[in-house]
Amino acid sequence: MMRRRVLGAMFGTVAAWFGRTAMARPVISSPTPYPLVTIPGDQALATWERLRREGKGWPVVVGDDEALAMIAENFEGEAGPGPGAALAAAAKIVLPADLERHFTEEYGVEAEVPEQGDWPEITDHSGSGLTVASDILTGKPFERVHILLLPIKDGSEAPAYLRWGGWNACPSAALHVAVLRSWKQRYGAELVGLSGDVIDLRVTKRPATRAEAMALAREQYLYCSDIVDQGTTSLPPLAASLMASDWWFFWWD
């Protein structure tokens, strides 16, 4: 089953809110509880870095109008639980055991990690980059991209504040928080982008050895199996990319 998408009335409403707003100016009306800044897609990362330095909250690049509408769907209807519940649950999660449990509950089998394969030679060290600011098919930046400013100092908590996760194979908000906290502690991973079904992380420390990279790749497979099953097909190419790039990419359909 595909991730639920809002392409009808909800998307039309959001588009109407934005109208012909100047690209580089903040948008006053936000379809979420959080302040919103709208900029051209090719300015998304630079704007994120500026907002991050200003320290007035944690910026999250959510992508284009459609992606923002998908995020806004989490706040429709009755008020859901606040972020406190997910943060409290995250504090009780034990890794990697709960990642293993999530995988087994989702697929009904013990995790069979596809570890076989050759270690590739990577010549392009740029990595995935900030994917949520561009069209996945053409690679061209969106004309308009939105950044939400969350009232937190740690981007690892963003899934809890955005009520993000818990559909299809996508982990719960609490498990996202626990995993992102762990990767932040070990690799300096910071959440930069989060769209309707994608997370972009940037790290300050890469795994130092192939053994460490393979162990990390296994964690990432348990967290988001599609990056292997529908991407690299085995762990060595994923592990090699983790040693070569500062960007990590995850998606769930």
Render pLDDT for 160-214 as a digit per residue (tens, 0 to 9).
Answer: 999 999 998 999 999 999 999 999 999 999 999 999 999 999 999 999 999 999 9
Domain contains 13: yes
The total number of structural domains in the chain stands at: 1
Q: Strand pairing partners for 39?
A: 145
The closest of 16, 20, 152, 169 to 86, measured between CA atoms, is 152
Domain contains 101: yes
Span of 8-12, 143-147, 236-240 with lowest mean pLDDT:
8-12
Domain contains 4: no
C-alpha–C-alpha distance, residues 155 and 191, integer Å: 5
Domain contains 174: yes
Question: Span 31-55, mean pLDDT?
Answer: 96
pLDDT number for residue 120: 79
Strand-by-strand arrangement of the 36-39 sheet: 26-27, 36-39, 145-150, 58-63, 190-194, 198-202, 247-251
**Residue 76 pLDDT more than 90?**
no
**Residue 115 pLDDT more than 50?**
yes
C-alpha–C-alpha distance, residues 75 and 73, integer Å: 5
- Going from the C-alpha of 78 to that of each of 66, 119, 174, the distances in angstroms are 22, 50, 20
* Domain of 137, in residue numbers: 9-251
**Residue 9 pLDDT more than 50?**
no
Count CA within 13 A, CB hemisphere, residue 80.
18
Question: Span 3-26, mean pLDDT?
Answer: 38
Count CA within 13 A, CB hemisphere, residue 253.
7
Structure tokens, 86: 């997910």
Domain contains 124: yes
Domain contains 2: no
Domain contains 1: no
Domain contains 36: yes
The CB density around residue 96, as the number of other CB atoms within 10 Å, is 17
pLDDT number for residue 193: 98
Q: Are 172 and 86 in contact (CB under 8 A)?
A: yes
Question: Span 54-74, mean pLDDT?
Answer: 95
